[in-house]
């Protein structure tokens, strides 16, 4: 049977000692050099009460995943394969539970993988939020089969935002669902940046595949392998080696290795545009000028084309024009080259709440025309929209457009394309 991390009394190996130390002792340390990532990761100060964390044996997890069978495979990422499993446990009050979980098995690629595993246990083991995936437990065994490092998460039945935004089949995630998912993801980031007692957590790998969806499509951030503790009081940034995913990392982080929470805000801006356009930030199979999402959207930024011609065609016009414009404007604020000027994630949450409310108030229409029609006849679209809107709505939209223009000019001055990120 698995046991609780805090209660474990049997003999365990050095990795488990390392984890237990992380969970129990959080003393501040100093130093910001790029070489001491691990030290800083362990240097968390006061943190909230850690949730129940279970220690599983390799044998238990192997049995639960039917010897890591392909029929249980959920997918594979940079860390390793993820399997679905049912685990039987007895909780603190003695009740037997069968929980559906996802088991991530680390590729046996040495120290780097171990460091990411440790980072996940460390950060996920101490945070608790409706928009952050719950770590159920872990396994760390060094046996004759080698180094076994596994993580056990709550199971997320609706896969990831990536799966729904870039589907292989015809299923399309609605505009409303997209907005709610982005609002939840923003809340998750705001919690990590601003709401944990005593520390700031920088996620460092915000992208659509790391936004998982539960049975109600509530988004939860996953993959804390690259997460870092933010700068200490009086420091402006943390210096690190540059890691992350190409197309999502902030330009100043790529060029200097200086990491701040505003790097996550940049990545959030990229994902906002991906959500709007239904395109990945980098798509190598497209014509050269369309491969980089930000490059492709330049005609909109220069005011040469309207936002509706960049909205995901898969929505077939079922989106709100005002909301799309507001989302684009918010994305541009997040993508400001000057990190200082980018909004805090708590401000992004407030703006997204307002945008979501626009639909609830019923003062906007949904574009019933397919996107191809919108492109061919933008003028008639304007006419249709105008007749459908109240005078109050028209005025609000004009004010909105002015705001958008300011943002666009600011963004064009500031933006330079990302070349490469070292993995």
Given the rule CB under 6 A, which residues bind ligand ATP?
Answer: 74-79, 82, 102, 104, 133, 153, 155-156, 159-160, 209-210, 212, 222-223
Q: Which does 153 bind (CB under 5 to 8 A by kind): Mg ion, ligand ATP, none?
A: ligand ATP
Binding-site residues, in ranges, read: 104
- How many Cα atoms are found within 13 Å in the side-chain-facing hemisphere of 73? 9
- Calpha distance 313→322 (Å, rounded): 17
Of 37, 205, 312, 407, catalytic: 205
Q: Which does 159 bind (CB under 5 to 8 A by kind): Mg ion, ligand ATP, none?
A: ligand ATP
Closest residue to ligand ATP in the complex (CB):
77
Binding-site residues for ATP, in ranges, read: 104
- In angstroms, the Cα distances linking 155 to 91, 128, 140, 216, 244 are 18, 16, 20, 13, 24
Q: Which does 281 bind (CB under 5 to 8 A by kind): Mg ion, ligand ATP, none?
A: none
Neighbouring-strand partners of residue 54: 4, 137
In 110-233, which ranges are E strands?
135-143, 146-154, 201-202, 211-213, 219-221, 228-229
The least distance separating Mg ion from the CB of residue 46, rounded to whole angstroms, comes to 28
- Cβ closer to ligand ATP: 100 or 142? 100
CA 105 remoteness from chain centre: 21
SS3 for 325?
Answer: helix
Q: Do strands 211-213 and 135-143 pair parallel, antiparallel, or not at all (unpaired)?
A: unpaired
- Cβ closer to ligand ATP: 222 or 389? 222
The least distance separating Mg ion from the CB of residue 227, rounded to whole angstroms, comes to 12
Conformation bin of residue 223: beta by default, left when phi > 0, alpha when psi is -120 to 50: left
The least distance separating Mg ion from the CB of residue 77, rounded to whole angstroms, comes to 5
Residue closest to 20 by CA, chosen among 7, 29, 32, 34: 7
- Cβ closer to Mg ion: 104 or 385? 104
The least distance separating ligand ATP from the CB of residue 230, rounded to whole angstroms, comes to 21
205 as an active site residue: the answer is yes
What are the residues binding Mg ion (CB under 5 A)? 77, 209-210, 223
Q: Which does 160 bind (CB under 5 to 8 A by kind): Mg ion, ligand ATP, none?
A: ligand ATP
Helices 261-277 and 345-360: crossing angle in degrees, nearest 10, is 30
- Cβ closer to ligand ATP: 222 or 260? 222
Q: Which residues are catalytic?
A: 205
């Amino acid at each position: 049977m698995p046991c609780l991390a805090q209660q474990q009394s049997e003999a365990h190996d050095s990795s488990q000692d390392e984890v237990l130390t992380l969970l129990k002792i959080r003393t501040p340390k100093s130093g910001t050099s790029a070489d001491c990532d691990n030290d800083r990761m362990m240097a968390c100060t006061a943190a909230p009460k850690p949730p129940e964390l279970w220690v599983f044996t390799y044998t238990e997890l192997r049995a639960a995943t039917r010897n890591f069978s392909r029929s249980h495979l959920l997918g594979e990422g940079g860390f390793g394969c993820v399997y679905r499993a049912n685990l039987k446990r007895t909780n603190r009050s003695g009740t037997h539970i069968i929980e559906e979980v996802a088991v991530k098995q680390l590729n046996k690629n040495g120290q780097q993988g171990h460091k990411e595993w440790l980072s996940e246990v460390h950060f996920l083991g101490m945070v608790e939020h409706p928009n952050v995936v719950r770590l159920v437990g872990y396994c760390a065994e060094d046996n004759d089969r080698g180094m076994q490092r596994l993580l056990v998460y709550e199971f997320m039945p609706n896969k990831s935002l990536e799966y729904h935004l870039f589907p292989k089949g015809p299923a399309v995630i609605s505009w409303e669902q997209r907005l709610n998912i982005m609002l939840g993801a923003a809340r998750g980031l705001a919690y990590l940046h601003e709401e944990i007692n005593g520390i700031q957590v920088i996620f460092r790998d915000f992208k659509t595949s790391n936004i998982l969806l539960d049975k109600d499509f509530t988004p939860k951030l996953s993959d804390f392998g690259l997460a870092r503790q933010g700068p200490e009081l009086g420091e402006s940034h943390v210096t690190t080696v540059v890691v992350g995913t190409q197309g999502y990392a902030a330009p100043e982080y790529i060029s200097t290795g200086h990491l701040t929470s505003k790097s996550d805000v940049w990545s959030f801006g990229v994902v906002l545009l991906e959500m709007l356009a239904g395109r990945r930030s980098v798509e190598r199979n497209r014509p050269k000028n369309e491969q980089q999402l930000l490059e492709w959207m330049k005609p909109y930024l220069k005011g040469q084309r309207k936002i509706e011609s960049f909205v995901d065609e898969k929505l077939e016009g079922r989106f709100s024009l005002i909301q799309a414009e507001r989302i684009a404007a918010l994305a541009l604020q997040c993508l400001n080259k000057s990190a200082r000027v980018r909004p805090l994630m708590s401000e992004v949450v407030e703006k997204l709440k307002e945008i979501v409310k626009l639909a609830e108030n019923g003062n906007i229409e949904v574009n019933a025309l397919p996107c191809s029609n919108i492109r061919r006849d933008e003028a008639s679209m304007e006419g249709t929209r105008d007749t459908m809107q109240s005078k109050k709505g028209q005025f609000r939209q004009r004010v909105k457009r002015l705001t958008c223009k300011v943002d666009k000019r600011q963004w064009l001055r500031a933006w330079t394309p990302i070349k490469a990120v070292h993995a």
